[in-house]
Chain A
Amino acid sequence: MNMTSDISAPATPLPATTVASRSNPVHARPAIELQDASVIFGKGDQAVTALTPTTLKMERGDFLALVGPSGCGKSTILRLASNLIQPSSGNVLLGGREAAAKELRIGMAFQNPTMLPWRSIEKNVMLPLKIVEPFKRTFQRDRKGAYRDRVHALLEQVGLKDFAGHFPWQLSGGMLQRANLCRALIHDPDLLLLDEPFGALDQFTREELWQVLQDLYLDRQPTVLLVTHDLREAGFLARRICVMSARPGRVISDRAVTMPQPRDISVIYSPDFVEMTQGLRELIAQIRK
């Protein structure tokens, strides 16, 4: 079955958005490409389909938000892209090659900040530099010099300058997510994968971090795949929004968000924005039935 946007057009045309063009490859090799990728957990009678064959393509430098009801396979797509799980059928290509080939550098942040409790914030953020090539080659030499400065510069950018030496349990949830974003970005990933990173935060902290993330994105231009259930978050941050159907999941709507970036937080109260999120909401309400 074809998974493009024409299956389920929004009830009313949305003025601020256009349907994403699929036949205009600006870059020769897309950052992420799912080719009829499906995921089935377990075997025989116990088998659970987490994702029906899905095709999805993301150009480099794009910011795509995946939204949909819970359990629809959003996180499954993210785990496919991060090579944490393998597709049961079909292919997952990163930068035009098999995910296992590590063609792209990946940074990932989950809803749970997953800071290692025995490391200070600075050392937590520095962790990718210890693991990822080519940084790990000079880790022993640079960890107290260049890498340290690099970590401090990034921490300063998200307002955590004074907390580098603190331990995770000394920080609030919002601060931990800032540090989490830093850790996901410190090694300049080509691909940033975010799994509901702000889901556990209060509204004010969340909006603050949207802006932090937007600044980091515009500054570094990685390819971002954001899984979220917050439609305003998707609309504020993304350049493209894909809606997934309830389990087993597949992409049923794919649209661009054309508002220029950087966007101000007040944009979420503008009529165009409200109309767009309203449209998405109705679409998701329909698929939940």
Chain B
Amino acid sequence: MTETNKIRSMSFSLILGFFLMWEVLCIMLNVSDLILPRPSEIAVTLWTRFPVLWPHILQTLYSTLTGFSLGVIIGVSIGVLIGTSRVAYGVAYPLLVGFSSIPKVAVVPIFVLWFGSGTTPAILTAMVICVFPIVVNISTGLATTEPDLEDVLKTLGASKSEILWNVGLPRTMPYFFASLKVAITLSFVGAVLSETVASNRGIGNVMMTASSNFQVSLVFAGLIVLALMGVALYAFFSFLESRVTGWATRGNDIAVT
């Protein structure tokens, strides 16, 4: 426990030191705030402009979470489908790899073309970008389930769906949650990306507008907001993971004794 606390306080010091160094270097080298504003200036901007930023924060959060939820539903469905059937796995995998290797920036213009600028392309980008890691993890988890565990249920005369519910899916949960942590971060990137390109709302748009108006400290304020939101989302799913799949990380303090 003291070891963990030590590491925590050290990583806090590192973050603090980073901003302190930034501040000091800006002052010493006399950097213009049009190039790189000091952290203290960014903090002031963040504070004074927060009422303006707030609706955009909600907008970005909305696009991210909606897209992410859709992505999870689609990803889990495809993952279960191809993870439980070796044939489907072999047939569908090349196409999925093809889709996943498309840089997602490239699909934003297509979504804009189809749905106009605004919330819809942001949601769709957030969705598309997070599907693949979920599919891969769900299908891998299911496909690598130990045959012994399945045999236990087969000898009892269990149906395929009973085996899936009682062995396949619980066994896949650690994979699933690992992929959620990656997916939520990607969704967030996707939503902001789309907002930057084609929207008049959201943090991405705020940064784009601020940048063209040379409100450099507002650009950085947006960046800080994004970083904080990203960390918060990651932390939330990390917490959820430890609650649900505690059995897979035995011996940690979360495990039930």
A: which residues have CB within 8 A of B?
82-84, 102, 106-108, 110, 112, 114, 116-119, 127-128, 130-132, 165-167, 169-170, 183, 187, 193
Contacts and interface: CB of A to CB of B under 8 A. Distances in A.
Given A110-B148, A114-B148, A116-B170, A167 B162 contact: no
Task: Describe A's contact surface by its main secondary structure.
Answer: loop
A91 to B, nearest CB: 19
Nearest to B151: A84
Given A118-B171, A131-B153, A167-B250, 15 more contacts: A83-B154, A83-B155, A106-B155, A116-B167, A116-B171, A119-B170, A127-B152, A127-B153, A127-B166, A128-B156, A131-B156, A131-B162, A169-B250, A183-B152, A187-B156
Contacts of A102: 157
B255 A167 contact: yes
Interface string B156-171: 1110001000110011
Q: Which residue of A102, A106, A130, A193 has the most chain B CB atoms within 10 A of its CB atom?
A: A130
A132 B156 contact: yes
Given A116-B170, A169-B250, A131 B158 contact: yes
B256 interface: yes
Contacts of A170: 257
Contact of A167 (B146, B148, B247): B247
Interface of B: 146, 148-149, 151-158, 162, 166-167, 170-171, 173, 245, 247-248, 250, 255-257
Task: Describe B's contact surface by its main secondary structure.
Answer: helix
11 contacts: A82-B155, A84-B151, A84-B155, A102-B157, A106-B156, A114-B149, A116-B166, A116-B167, A117-B248, A131-B156, A167-B250
Given A117-B247, A118-B170, A131-B162, A110 B151 contact: yes
Contacts of A114: 146, 148-149, 151-152
A129 B92 CA distance: 37
Nearest to B247: A118
Contacts of B255: 167
Contacts of B170: 116, 118-119
A110 B153 CA distance: 12
Contact of B148 (A112, A118, A128): A112
